[in-house]
A and B are shown apart, each in its own frame.
Chain A
Amino acid sequence: MDFSVLRNLISRYCVGEENWLDSRTVYIGQKEPPPGAAAYIPQRYPDNRIVSSKYTFWNFIPKNLFEQFRRIANFYFLVIFLVQLIIDTPTSPVTSGLPLFFVITVTAIKQGYEDWLRHKADCSINECPVDVVQQGKAARTQSHKLRVGDVVVVKEDETFPCDLVLLSSSREDGTCYVTTASLDGESSHKTYYAVPDTKAFRTDREVESLHATIECEQPQPDLYKFVGRINVYKDTEEPVARPLGSENLLLRGATLKNTHHIYAVAIYTGMETKMALNYQSKSQKRSAVEKSMNAFLIVYLCILISKAVINTVLKYAWQWSPDRDEPWYNHRTENERQRPVVIRAFTDFLAFMVLFNYIIPVSMYVTVEMQKFLGSYFITWDEEMFDEELGEGAQVNTSDLNEELGQVEYVFTDKTGTLTENNMEFIECCVDGNVYVPHAICNGQILSAASSIDMIDSSPGGYRREHEDLFFRALCLCHTVQVKEEETVDGIKRGFHQGRPTSFYISSSPDEVALVEGMKRLGYTYLRLKDNYMEILNKDDEIERFELLHVLNFDSVRRRMSVIVKSSSGEYLLFCKGADSSIFPRVVSGKVEQVKARVEQNAVEGLRTLCVAFRRLSPDDYQEACLLLTQAKLALQDREQRLAQAYDAIERDFVLLGATAVEDRLQEKAADTIESLHKAGMKVWVLTGDKMETAAATCYASKLFRRSTQILELTKKRTEEQSLHDVMFELSRTVLRQRSMSGLSVDCLDYGLIIDGATLTAVLKSGPEGNYREVFLEVSRNCSAVLCCRMAPLQKAQIVKLIKASKEHPITLAIGDGANDVSMILEAHVGI
């Protein structure tokens, strides 16, 4: 345990490195493997108890006192008090003791109360019920009793009690859907897979009969990294080994969605879960004022000591003549005479210290504390920060940092849920230059309204009609959305279709949900995926069925996704949607110009745009594509690369259909706020786990990047083309040139920097061979806005740390709402 804690500490400084020498072996269901396998070594793991409190009942008083006396001022006054007690003092010990103990007691009571609250929170988490499979049936137990190797049953909408490896799911295909909103802030649903060999174990009894071990790395804080191997023992055969990756690992804190129940085995528990590892140790936040106060304190302490020394020396110089030392009217007692000079001098020195100790006033700290306390109340009372909707005003969590608010130079913000409402809305689409705007309110009349809006192009009816149909179908088909039927109460909320069970759309990307819902409002309803047939309810209330043949998944390099479907008429169609930059080069026909214009216009407005294209495949083409895909998918080596090649080969010669625009609604007044922050000279950094394109779009929308802003990119894509060094060098040159130029020209350009997680790791890691860190700082300091995407929670904290440690020691402020922001918030001077 201790060892792993140490390891984790180390690993925090080198996240992303994969040199795990050690691994752990987990015996599923706590069963010994069949004989002949590796020897069963019972390993000791921590139980699943989460401890976020600082104190226990017993160690509260010593530990709290220790914490408090670590403050220089408190310690100083304690020393003075003790000195006063020991020596023959000129002032009473009460004068320094009383205020000190008042302050200490009040602080201790406050901290004790806070810790008591934490204890209660811990308790409620540790005691929440969990179903564990024991002796062939599910038994209910408390969360903190979970051990590594236990098989856990998790039901829908339950939170995972620890880090689990998925064994099987109630879904046939062994998948389950999970939202990790509280971990990384992405509220979308992610799909996790069970290992094929275990996905058949779908009842308590079957799971009990499973014989397998899991070998995996020791716990590490990177949320997206997991390497392991499962060995399944079947009767007498050799064990089957299967690789495990992060797609098998269910993280503590995530919630199961859209899946009835799953079986999973606990591999990391308690404080070893990735979530717990991502919470850095809770250090007390100290404000800059307090820090400088401490510095002043040391200066004054030096002054005090030198003063006492000088006075002691002067005293003995003055006493040199016996007339002065002991005049006849003022004799010493015998005791004093016999005391050695050294001790006398030392007590004199201490006495002078006590005498002059008021150079550091006790009252200063008390006054400052009181002032902060009142200040925090004023923040709470502020009417202008009151939210009518929630009925809540501002909440001050710690009064120590009030004064920092006025000195903030860097603002780090989370994107999802902080800048934006994380609520995608379909705004409009454009087919061959015709713009369709769904009317959100009146569901019945959409059709007439939509089709009559904004007719720019008056092309022949038939042609237009065809493209329109294709476009809408494309949008209905080209996605990975899941449909969830919901019969009851929630129907009221989304019940456009009376009489029918209404449905939720669930997808890993909120854009897709928005698109499909938008289509629904335009009259094309995606019903469900049944036996590989996608069913669509079209405008005329007819159900069209398409056979889903292949899904060419989205990835951030291609920035597009495609589906190959077979229509009921037997036609093979390839629908593709993706970012404009990745679609346009592959288009051979269609009204490129009009669509492009529209797309650009939308982008200016901060909408997220996607282009839609299609290609008709002849049966031969289809066969060929099929072959390519299967080959690539079966490849053992370079699978990724070959898949990409296959995709590339298939996705070409498109006919452009149109474009869509989706808005990730910004928080109210987000743009205004950011603009005024800019005006105030603060630098706004957006740190997000999202993909770059999305994040960039939001930044434009929130006026973080303006049209005039020149974007510097420092992303994986670029660093793959050139070496990191070149990129960094180039960037710094650009920025420096700008700086020298801005001396001449009045309207200096401002720069926006985009960096992604992978590059950041590279930048931070490259200590010895090049000082990228410095260059990066130099560059980023000259940018008015910086966007960091694909960040892991700890990387967010690293960024904040980097800025904090820079030359000017600026005050930083971090805003966030999700659990993924916690480390960043803890790292920054001020957290909101």
Chain B
Amino acid sequence: MMASGYNAKEEDGHHSGAPGNGGAGAVKSKKPDNTAFKQQRLPAWQPILTAGTVLPAFFVIGLIFIPIGIGLFVTSNNIKEFEIDYTGIEASSPCYNCAQNYSWNSTSSCTCKVPFTLEQPFESNVFMYYGLSNFYQNHRRYVKSRDDSQLNGDLTSLKSPSKECDPYRTSDGLPIAPCGAIANSLFNDTLELYHLSNGTRTAVVLMKKGIAWWTDKNVKFRNPGGNANLTVAFQGTSKPVNWRTPVFELDPNDPDNNGFINEDFIVWMRTAALPTFRKLYRIIQKKVDAPTLASGKYELEVSYNYPVRSFDGRKRVILSTISWMGGKNPFLGIAYITVGSVCFFLAVVLLIIHHKYDNRCSSADIPN
């Protein structure tokens, strides 16, 4: 059809007719194959939406979803959760003083004690979280500000961290390890839990290991030059500007939890998607004969280091049990119940409409 070729094309057209008549071989090769694919006869199924197919589908969806939703909702409701806000904004708050007198360069930490009462005993393993509000860990500048190869123990990155870490890349001419804004803003409040019963104050045993992902701990994060002698390994680097201690002193007692593979550090480095988030802090192992946390009076001892007032933040501690479906999450159950109910309701309405107004004598339009 193109304008090319002028007469040549015309003549071609004439010639092609002649051999076509004569050469049967040529004809055969040009004839399209009679296969199911090429002739578009492949078996296909197209859903035809009729009352006969739609109504049962709705009923089935409704009947399946509602029990699932109820199950999820009940499970979620059985999970116990207790939340304490210790920011210290209000004057009545025990941490008010600490919050007010905060200064960046104080060496000693301010300690405050927050009493609280558990009405119900907490069974099984209890997870202790710290929560921050209005903290934008999802800011683009913030998220990028890290050097993963440095955190993986790479020696060259240790000495010359990635440009992404700026402005937390070097201090006083020395490379910062770990560099970047995320590491620099590590949550450094220390939280301890005491059970008050009959005037005695017993510390609740908090497990600080097992709170990070296995892959993070064993694959993604590695100390430079192995775990032995971190002081030497980190020589020639500087601590992040906001830190009190260098990275190799995060947990001096346990070489498996020190340096880059410190689990508190690993948990912090996994940035949260929303400005209000919680991160796992400690695990309270269940006891054999008694509830993990019996009901009664407790006291939370906070060494208040982390400033949040400047950005209107909040700090919380959350105690929670878990179930097979994870932490407390009523939404999933509600969603299931809602969808199931809507489907069931629609099914009923459509059934009524179908029965009442279907006055066609034949079922011609309903093949099934």
Q: How far is the CA of A388 from the CA of B26 in the complex (A)?
A: 11
Q: How far is the CA of A117 from the CA of B16 in the complex (A)?
A: 18
Q: How far is the CA of A381 from the CA of B1 in the complex (A)?
A: 20
Beta-carbon contact of B8 and A393 below 8 Å:
no
Assuming A327-B136, A328-B310, is B39 touching A382 (CB within 8 A)?
yes
> Chain A, 373-407, contact with B by CB distance < 8 Å: what is the 0/1 string?
00000101111001011111100011000000000
Beta-carbon contact of A333 and B26 below 8 Å:
no
Beta-carbon contact of B312 and A323 below 8 Å:
yes
A553 touches B (CB below 8 Å): no
Beta-carbon contact of B20 and A282 below 8 Å:
no
Q: Which residue of B lies closest to A275 (CB)?
A: B6
Chain A residues with Cβ below 8 Å from B172 are none
A822 touches B (CB below 8 Å): yes
Chain A residues with Cβ below 8 Å from B33 are 381
B280 touches A (CB below 8 Å): no
B2 touches A (CB below 8 Å): yes
Beta-carbon contact of A393 and B30 below 8 Å:
yes
- Give B130-154 interface residues, CB cut-off 8 Å to A: 135-136, 139-142, 145
Q: How far is the CA of A574 from the CA of B242 in the complex (A)?
A: 121
Beta-carbon contact of A253 and B6 below 8 Å:
yes
B97 touches A (CB below 8 Å): no
- Give B27-55 interface residues, CB cut-off 8 Å to A: 27, 30-34, 38-40
Chain A residues with Cβ below 8 Å from B26 are 391
Chain A residues with Cβ below 8 Å from B38 are 378, 381
Beta-carbon contact of B167 and A121 below 8 Å:
no
Beta-carbon contact of B32 and A831 below 8 Å:
no
Beta-carbon contact of A125 and B32 below 8 Å:
no
Q: Which residue of A lies closest to B104 (CB)?
A: A328
A122 touches B (CB below 8 Å): yes
Tell me which of B6, B21, B27, B166 has the highest count of chain A C-beta atoms within 10 A of its own C-beta.
B6
Beta-carbon contact of B141 and A279 below 8 Å:
no
A237 touches B (CB below 8 Å): no
Q: Which residue of B lies closest to A391 (CB)?
A: B27
Beta-carbon contact of B311 and A125 below 8 Å:
no
Beta-carbon contact of B307 and A125 below 8 Å:
no
Assuming A125-B8, A831-B1, is B311 touching A382 (CB within 8 A)?
no
When the two chains form the complex, which single residue of A52, A331, A825 contacts B1, counting CB atoms closer than 8 Å? Answer: A825
CB distance from B36 to the nearest CB of A (A): 11
Q: How far is the CA of A495 from the CA of B135 in the complex (A)?
A: 102
> Chain B, 143-178, contact with A by CB distance < 8 Å: what is the 0/1 string?
001000000000000000000001110000000000
> Chain A, 166-186, contact with B by CB distance < 8 Å: what is the 0/1 string?
000000000000000110000
Q: Which residue of B lies closest to A117 (CB)?
A: B4
Q: Which residue of A lies closest to B6 (CB)?
A: A125
Assuming A328-B310, A330-B142, is B3 touching A282 (CB within 8 A)?
yes
> Chain A, 316-353, contact with B by CB distance < 8 Å: what is the 0/1 string?
00000001100111111110000000000000000000
Q: How far is the CA of A323 from the CA of B38 in the complex (A)?
A: 66
Beta-carbon contact of A381 and B2 below 8 Å:
no
Beta-carbon contact of A118 and B2 below 8 Å:
yes
Chain B residues with Cβ below 8 Å from A182 are 6-7, 10
Q: Which residue of B lies closest to A114 (CB)?
A: B2
Beta-carbon contact of A332 and B167 below 8 Å:
yes
Beta-carbon contact of A390 and B9 below 8 Å:
no
Assuming A124-B8, A329-B181, is B32 touching A392 (CB within 8 A)?
no
CB distance from B175 to the nearest CB of A (A): 16
CB distance from B140 to the nearest CB of A (A): 7
Chain A residues with Cβ below 8 Å from B4 are 52-53, 117-118, 121-122
Beta-carbon contact of A391 and B30 below 8 Å:
yes
Beta-carbon contact of A121 and B5 below 8 Å:
yes
A90 touches B (CB below 8 Å): yes
CB distance from A378 to the nearest CB of B (A): 6
B238 touches A (CB below 8 Å): no
Q: Which residue of A lies closest to B37 (CB)?
A: A381
Q: How far is the CA of A826 from the CA of B4 in the complex (A)?
A: 12
Chain B residues with Cβ below 8 Å from A121 are 4-6, 8-9
> Chain B, 303-325, contact with A by CB distance < 8 Å: what is the 0/1 string?
00001001110000000000000
Q: Which residue of A lies closest to B26 (CB)?
A: A391
Q: Which residue of B lies closest to A254 (CB)?
A: B7
Assuming A52-B2, A334-B167, A390-B20, is B31 touching A159 (CB within 8 A)?
no
Chain B residues with Cβ below 8 Å from A279 are 3
Q: How far is the CA of A411 from the CA of B140 in the complex (A)?
A: 58
Q: How far is the CA of A330 from the CA of B141 in the complex (A)?
A: 7
B226 touches A (CB below 8 Å): no
Beta-carbon contact of B31 and A397 below 8 Å:
no
B17 touches A (CB below 8 Å): yes
Beta-carbon contact of B30 and A282 below 8 Å:
no
A50 touches B (CB below 8 Å): yes
When the two chains form the complex, which single residue of A90, A333, A391, A822 contacts B31, counting CB atoms closer than 8 Å? Answer: A391
CB distance from A88 to the nearest CB of B (A): 9
Chain A residues with Cβ below 8 Å from B181 are 329-331
- Give B231-262 interface residues, CB cut-off 8 Å to A: 242
Chain A residues with Cβ below 8 Å from B30 are 391-393
B185 touches A (CB below 8 Å): yes
Beta-carbon contact of B32 and A327 below 8 Å:
no
- Give A415-471 interface residues, CB cut-off 8 Å to B: none
Beta-carbon contact of A391 and B3 below 8 Å:
no
A819 touches B (CB below 8 Å): yes
Beta-carbon contact of B3 and A822 below 8 Å:
yes
Beta-carbon contact of B5 and A52 below 8 Å:
yes
Chain B residues with Cβ below 8 Å from A831 are 1
Beta-carbon contact of B32 and A329 below 8 Å:
no
B223 touches A (CB below 8 Å): no
Q: How far is the CA of A307 from the CA of B335 in the complex (A)?
A: 30
Chain A residues with Cβ below 8 Å from B76 are none
Q: How far is the CA of A328 from the CA of B307 in the complex (A)?
A: 9
When the two chains form the complex, which single residue of B1, B6, B135, B242 contacts A397, counting CB atoms closer than 8 Å? Answer: B1
Tell me which of B27, B32, B33, B145 has the highest count of chain A C-beta atoms within 10 A of its own C-beta.
B32
Chain B residues with Cβ below 8 Å from A324 are 136, 311
Assuming A52-B2, A125-B8, A381-B39, is B31 touching A393 (CB within 8 A)?
yes
Q: How far is the CA of A380 from the CA of B1 in the complex (A)?
A: 16
B75 touches A (CB below 8 Å): no
CB distance from A123 to the nearest CB of B (A): 10
Chain A residues with Cβ below 8 Å from B9 are 121
CB distance from B204 to the nearest CB of A (A): 30
Beta-carbon contact of B310 and A323 below 8 Å:
yes
Tell me which of B4, B139, B242, B312 has the highest count of chain A C-beta atoms within 10 A of its own C-beta.
B4
Q: How far is the CA of A427 from the CA of B25 in the complex (A)?
A: 37
Beta-carbon contact of B312 and A822 below 8 Å:
no
B87 touches A (CB below 8 Å): no
Tell me which of A327, A383, A397, A832 has the highest count of chain B C-beta atoms within 10 A of its own C-beta.
A327
Chain A residues with Cβ below 8 Å from B142 are 329-330
- Give B182-205 interface residues, CB cut-off 8 Å to A: 184-185
- Give A110-162 interface residues, CB cut-off 8 Å to B: 117-118, 121-122, 124-125, 159
Beta-carbon contact of A327 and B27 below 8 Å:
no
Q: How far is the CA of A548 from the CA of B39 in the complex (A)?
A: 62
When the two chains form the complex, which single residue of A50, A90, A386, A389 contacts B6, counting CB atoms closer than 8 Å? Answer: A50
CB distance from A818 to the nearest CB of B (A): 8
Beta-carbon contact of B139 and A330 below 8 Å:
yes
Tell me which of B3, B139, B145 has the highest count of chain A C-beta atoms within 10 A of its own C-beta.
B3
CB distance from B165 to the nearest CB of A (A): 10
Q: How far is the CA of A90 from the CA of B2 in the complex (A)?
A: 45
Beta-carbon contact of A331 and B167 below 8 Å:
yes
Can you identify 6 A-B contacts, CB atoms within 8 angstroms? A52-B2, A118-B5, A125-B6, A125-B7, A181-B10, A275-B6
Binding site for B on A (CB under 8 A): 50, 52-53, 90, 117-118, 121-122, 124-125, 159, 181-182, 253, 275, 279-280, 282, 323-324, 327-334, 378, 380-383, 386, 388-393, 397-398, 819, 822, 825-826, 831-832
Which are the 6 A-B pairs with shortest beta-carbon distances? A329-B185, A391-B27, A381-B38, A52-B4, A279-B3, A121-B5
Supplied contacts A330-B181, A332-B141, A380-B32, 4 more A-B pairs, CB within 8 Å: A328-B185, A330-B136, A391-B20, A397-B2
